[in-house]
Amino acid sequence: MSSRGYVLDHGRRRSGKAPGAARRPGRATVVPQILIDHSPGLDFDATGFAKEVHQLIPEVIDARVDDCKTLVRPAARHLVGDGASTDAVVLVEIKILAGRSAEARSTLSARVTELLRGYVRVPAAFGVEITELDRETYVFVHHPGR
């Protein structure tokens, strides 16, 4: 059984396994977490977009590409306004640990929005949100399996 499990707890890492379990050295953060929600049937290379976002993030905030984790969630349905619009919807949320400047967060959202324009070729509504996770309450677990 692997002993590489860890928990980020109140900004300090501790083993998620028995005392003495191995820890990942030199890793202070385990975010960003990226959530990409989009309209059903949208012709959109979400994986390519996510890979570029992973490369972009270290240019703007103190994070490594290896720290980025993305979930892509095509919606079952979507609705814009009263339903008359057929525009697609793409919502991107990037969760980072609190403490980055407003300028860095704004730069990140602007650059991700611009990147999104290159990936979506149909009329669409975009939303990009940078969410700060509270360092005192955020917990991340890497479960090595059983």
Mean pLDDT of the chain: 84
Q: Is residue 143 part of a domain?
A: no
Domain count, the chain: 1
The answer, yes or no, to whether residue 122 has pLDDT greater than 90, is yes
> According to the model, what pLDDT value does residue 16 have?
39
Q: Is residue 116 part of a domain?
A: yes
- What lies within 8 Å, CB to CB, of 144 at 6+ separation is 1, 2, 3, 4, 5, 17
Q: Is residue 104 part of a domain?
A: yes
> According to the model, what pLDDT value does residue 142 have?
84
Binning pLDDT at 50, 70 and 90, where does residue 27 land? very low
Q: Look at the pTM and tell me if it is higher than 0.95.
A: no
- What lies within 8 Å, CB to CB, of 86 at 6+ separation is 123
Q: Is residue 33 part of a domain?
A: yes
Binning pLDDT at 50, 70 and 90, where does residue 30 land? low
**Cα–chain center distance at 146:** 26
Q: Is residue 117 part of a domain?
A: yes
> According to the model, what pLDDT value does residue 72 have?
98
Domain that holds residue 106: 28-135
Q: Which of 94, 91, 126, 124 is nearest to 107 (CA)?
A: 94
Q: Is residue 5 part of a domain?
A: no
Q: Tell me if 79 sits within 8 A of 125, measured CB to CB.
A: no
Q: What is the CATH number of the domain that holds 38?
A: 3.30.429.10
Mean pLDDT for 98-107 is 96
Binning pLDDT at 50, 70 and 90, where does residue 29 land? low
Sign of CA dihedral 64, 66, 71, 72: positive
Residue 55's φ and ψ, nearest 5 degrees, are: -75, -30
> According to the model, what pLDDT value does residue 73 have?
97
Q: Is residue 17 part of a domain?
A: no
The answer, yes or no, to whether residue 58 has pLDDT greater than 50, is yes
Mean pLDDT for 36-65 is 96
